[in-house]
Structure 1
């Protein structure tokens, strides 16, 4: 009984670690892309602002990945946010920026 609980714990920890690293990176990249596309500034300034905000988003994703929320909810939230940001940047991309 203890072995299966330890294995389940290890898989949960691995899932949270992957969500923090890979999910956080995906969220940060999608946010940087979206902000670079929609901010009303010259393109270089919009991209730099997007990159700066992406660091904060990655930190927030890491904190959320290790919160008491279930790993499946963390993954669902991260993937939903990434999909929404990517879709919005594709739709709004050509018109955004200066």
Structure 2
């Protein structure tokens, strides 16, 4: 038995677009937020400068992710790409989550 949905082609196309839009907007935000936090913590600059550089890079990262979400071959790849936010979030928010020094 297959897990594939047996939808008409027009409905399948709309579902694909809806999943990509959701992934691009919400998933892109999550990925960008986690990457910005990780960059702000890892860049070898003063705290303010690292946060500023990470924030400026986040605009390009978000735009790139949205473009990639619609250019990639499958929606599954987009959602797997969003999974990259988990290690980035761990890097960026480790001290906050576990009560270490900031």
Equivalent in the alignment of 1:72 = 76
Task: Go from structure 1 to structure 2 and tell me whether the alpha carbon gap of 1:63 and 1:88 turns closer, same or farther (over 3 Å shift).
Answer: same
Q: TM-score, normalised by structure 1?
A: 0.83
Residue of structure 1 aligned with 2:85, choices 59, 82, 87? 82
Q: Aligned equivalents of 1:16 and 1:88: distance in 2?
A: 27
Q: Aligned equivalents of 1:56 and 1:95: distance in 2?
A: 29
Deviation at 1:41, TM superposition (A): 1.3
Q: 5+ residue gaps in structure 2? A: 1-6
* Count of aligned pairs: 93
Equivalent in the alignment of 2:12 = 8
Q: TM-score, normalised by structure 2?
A: 0.80
CA RMSD of aligned residues (A): 2.0
More helix by share: 1
